[in-house]
Amino acid sequence: MLYVNKFSIVISFFSGSQLLDFDFLIGDNIHDMELCGHFKGGANTGQRIAIWCPHNTVGRFVQVQIVSGSGNVMSPGKILVWGVYVN
């Protein structure tokens, strides 16, 4: 498990204008995820979006989830997670 400090997502060429609002979630298992951060608004192609998690956020799994809009398309170029291991 990690203390997660930050999520970073790079929007790919194909989904820039189509991606609107989404949440960054983290949890110890995929059935118990907690909100780390939220991105509101339209993303631009090639944009790098960084979300800083609250202090002492711990988890093994991460999830990026679209939360509104029927025409949203998620095709990230990269998703990076920064943190430190927890014993």
Distances (CA, A) of 86 to 33, 56, 57, 77: 18, 10, 11, 28
CB atoms within 10 A of CB 62: 19
60 has pLDDT over 80: yes
Domain with residue 20: its CATH number is: 2.60.120.260
Q: What is the pTM of this model?
A: 0.75
14 has pLDDT over 60: no
* Predicted pLDDT at 35: 92
Angle formed at CA 66 by CA 73 and CA 35, multiple of 5 degrees: 150
* Predicted pLDDT at 66: 81
The domain total for the chain is 1
68 has pLDDT over 80: no
31 has pLDDT over 90: yes
Q: Which domain holds residue 75?
A: 2-85
Span 22-36, average pLDDT: 90
